[in-house]
Amino acid sequence: MSVKKFFLFLFFVLLSSTWFSSMAQQNSAVALAIRIDPTGGMQPGSGRISLFDASRHFSVILTNVGKSPVRLWKDWCSWGYFNLSFEMTDQNGRRVIVSRKMKVWEKNFPAWTTVAAGDQMVIDVTFDPAIWRNPPALEGAKERTISLRAIYESTAGKDANEHQIWTGKIASPENTYLLLR
């Protein structure tokens, strides 16, 4: 094989591996769905989220709607801790991003879970102001209505590629919830 043919062959191999990797990322991006389950110890489907009561959390549910297993970062390590955020709109139309605050990592290494086709990963959430930046507040009232949607974003990078982690960004539908004290 001539040097020219070798480099041409190498070029096509690299191009095809990049293309297949890109296609895998695109295919995995549509294989994940997200929704908010505001049960938190209340009636299922009530649309109520209890604030300031750690025993009454709500859940964000990531569902693998694809045909293949999907790997997702666990949220106790820095690779997955910041992946979940929320977009909140109050009654006055003010839109705020609710995201996790920076923290010090005593133990930190890449950790993931594999979600089988049709299976789910559940993330329990309480809007603890020690953890969340811009958490919703009741501002003296006993209840408040907001619109909320969950956003899950996992960025591509060396570790995500090495461990074959799902990368992309998805958002739940924006729904109205009643926040309670």
pLDDT at 131 over 60: yes
pTM for the whole thing?
A: 0.78
Supply the range of the domain harboring residue 86.
Answer: 31-180
Number of domains observed in the structure of the chain = 2
* pLDDT for res 155: 96
Q: What was the pLDDT predicted at 57?
A: 81
Cα angle at 142 between 139 and 143, to 5 degrees?
A: 85
Mean pLDDT for 11-35 is 51
Q: Is the pLDDT of residue 5 over 80?
A: no
Does 96 lie in the same domain as 12? no
Cα 76 to Cα 80: distance, rounded to the nearest angstrom: 7
Confidence of residue 9 (pLDDT cuts 50, 70, 90): very low
Q: Are residues 3 and 91 in the same domain?
A: no
What's the pLDDT at 53?
A: 62
